[in-house]
Structure 1
Amino acid sequence: MEKTIKSVQDLYDMLDADFRSAKHFWEPFYENRDRPIPFFPNKPDENLVAGMEKGLLRGGRALEMGCGPGRNALYLARQGYQVEAYDLSETAIAWAKERAAEEQLDVHFECRSVFELTPEQEYDLVYDSGCLHHLLPHQRIPYIAMIDQALKPGGYFGLTCFAPGFGDQGGPEHVMDDWEVYREKSMRGGLAFTEEKLRYLLEDTFECVELRPMKAMGQNDAYFGLPILWAALWRKPEARDGHILV
């Protein structure tokens, strides 16, 4: 029966309906590879490299959400991870596969929504570089649940997302109230998060290992970094409410 809300998914579908499809935005976004987009070059996030160098990230299986042309997935593969990476854009995935072939790296790239995934505590690392801030507020609920389900106990969740106050540098000027998103039927290009809001959303599920502004990196640096972003690392507890997670 059409337009009858019976399930949570029906409600999500109704809320989605007032917004442009994300796939329709990202598909043409990646068509011109020569555009001066900071995250087009094949350079990993500086915080991802830092986590590796500190010995927090030690290999295993990794899942990347919204991988774009694959720069972080390829870095993880070079470090010995078995990597699965997903993006809504077929154009971005094709570019990522070309890069992997050039480096002879074995990475599973696939054009697919992360909301279609049904992992079962199988990943040592889940990484998101810029996916969260393009999700509608209600989409965070299945997003966090999927990450929790994907990670092994003790596994890590790495994240970069918009911080407020960087309107003059291409980021959001302020944090939109979630109700405001639905009133305006717009995320204004991406949602910013305060430290307080990130902790409120994630600390019930994950332990915060690090939450800081991303370090600024220049065009000639080996890594990607923009101070308009938060760089965060979270850990899934080994046990929850007195029960060992298995």
Structure 2
Amino acid sequence: MDDNNPTRRLSSRSIAAGDPTGWFEQLYAEAERGEAVVPWDRDLPHSLLTEWSGRSGVNGAARSAVVIGCGFGRDAEHLARLGFRTVAFDISPTAVRTARGRHPDSPVRYETADLLDPPPAWLGRFDLVLESMNVQALPVELRDRAIAAVGRLVAPGGTLLVIAAGRAEQEEVEGPPWPLTRAEVNGFAAGPLVPVRIEEIVDPAGARRWRAEFRRPE
């Protein structure tokens, strides 16, 4: 275990203690105290999200969106600017409190919630569901459950957008994160969801990323 890597240090301890998601709050709390840095803390929304919304000409007027594992809110604020009535949630109360503090005048509704046990009122509610880089932070034994939970948030006629780091089927990595294989990305097309477009994007350094769009028929 690398004690200089806070995500691996905290996740290893949390998983060993039987609490595989507890490390998120521990990391955000350490960051609030100035003892760690949240590695995904960025000012701008994810580039694969902004490229997708620009290419698709997305207009969120009179539509709802939810951002899973919102962190400090960068992607949620982008969707709100596109006109979506946006709910953004994170399992970490510290992350949610910080997001509210960073965006005091935001129309986004920031909530503390667990993807694996979401509020029943959220099921099948949202016209756009954004899952960006969260499932890959969960150990393999939680993947199927998390992927299914993501899909259950999509409303009839709605869209699921998945953004994730990628890896080959037999590639072994020391996480978190544990990047997703093509089979895992395909797994989001479960129940009523059908794939619209699945893109594998490889940068000049050879790093793989997925951007996958799914739709739930009316």
Counterpart for residue 179 of structure 1:
none
Percent of aligned positions with the same letter in both sequences? 19
- Match for residue 215 of structure 2 among 226, 230, 236: 236
Task: Decide which moves more: 33-42 or 53-62.
Answer: 33-42
Deviations for 1:142-171, whole angstroms, at most 9, x for unmatched residues? Answer: 323333221122322122222238xxxxxx
Deviation at 1:38, TM superposition (A): 5.7
Shift of the 112–229 alpha-carbon distance from structure 1 to 2, 3 Å rule, reads farther
Q: Distance in 1 between matches of 2:202 and 2:93?
A: 28
Counterpart for residue 5 of structure 2:
none
Counterpart for residue 116 of structure 1:
117
Deviation at 1:227, TM superposition (A): 7.2
Deviation at 1:33, TM superposition (A): 7.0
Q: Distance in 2 between matches of 1:105 and 1:68?
A: 15
1:164 aligns with 2:167: yes
Deviation at 1:19, TM superposition (A): 5.2
Counterparts of 1:85-100 in structure 2, within 5 Å, are: 85-100=88-103
Deviations for 1:203-246, whole angstroms, at most 9, x for unmatched residues? Answer: 34431423222768xxxxxxxxx9745231322231xxxxxx4x
The letter for the 2-side match of 1:45 is H
- Greater relative contact order (CA < 8 Å, ≥ 6 in sequence): 1
Q: Aligned residue pairs: how many?
A: 196
Q: Distance in 1 between matches of 2:59 and 2:202?
A: 21
Q: For the Cα contact (< 8 Å) 1:214–1:229, is it kept in 2?
A: yes
Q: For the Cα contact (< 8 Å) 2:86–2:109, is it kept in 1?
A: yes
- Indicate the RMSD between aligned Cα atoms, in angstroms: 3.2
Deviation at 1:124, TM superposition (A): 1.1
Q: Distance in 2 between matches of 1:80 and 1:33?
A: 34
Q: Distance in 1 between matches of 2:138 and 2:185?
A: 14
Q: Distance in 2 between matches of 1:146 and 1:18?
A: 20
TM-score normalized by the length of structure 1:
0.66
Q: Distance in 2 between matches of 1:127 and 1:51?
A: 12
The letter for the 2-side match of 1:49 is T
Computing the radius of gyration over CA atoms, which structure comes out larger, 1 or 2?
1
Q: Distance in 2 between matches of 1:214 and 1:57?
A: 25
Shift of the 125–87 alpha-carbon distance from structure 1 to 2, 3 Å rule, reads same
Counterpart for residue 46 of structure 2:
45
Q: For the Cα contact (< 8 Å) 2:66–2:129, is it kept in 1?
A: yes
1:136 aligns with 2:115: no
The residue matched to 2:49 in structure 1 has which SS? helix
Q: For the Cα contact (< 8 Å) 2:124–2:156, is it kept in 1?
A: yes
Deviation at 1:47, TM superposition (A): 1.5
Q: Distance in 1 between matches of 2:39 and 2:160?
A: 23
The residue matched to 1:191 in structure 2 has which SS? coil
The letter for the 2-side match of 1:81 is F
Q: For the Cα contact (< 8 Å) 1:74–1:105, is it kept in 2?
A: yes
Counterpart for residue 6 of structure 2:
none
Counterpart for residue 209 of structure 1:
197
Q: Distance in 1 between matches of 2:100 and 2:202?
A: 27
Q: For the Cα contact (< 8 Å) 1:174–1:192, is it kept in 2?
A: no
Task: Decide which moves more: 26-35 or 81-90.
Answer: 26-35
Shift of the 206–30 alpha-carbon distance from structure 1 to 2, 3 Å rule, reads farther
The letter for the 1-side match of 2:52 is G
Counterpart for residue 154 of structure 2:
151
TM-score normalized by the length of structure 2:
0.74
The residue matched to 2:156 in structure 1 has which SS? strand
Deviation at 1:91, TM superposition (A): 2.1
Shift of the 209–29 alpha-carbon distance from structure 1 to 2, 3 Å rule, reads farther
Gaps of 5+ in 1: 1-14, 166-172, 177-186, 217-225, 239-244
Gaps of 5+ in 2: 1-14
Shift of the 16–148 alpha-carbon distance from structure 1 to 2, 3 Å rule, reads farther
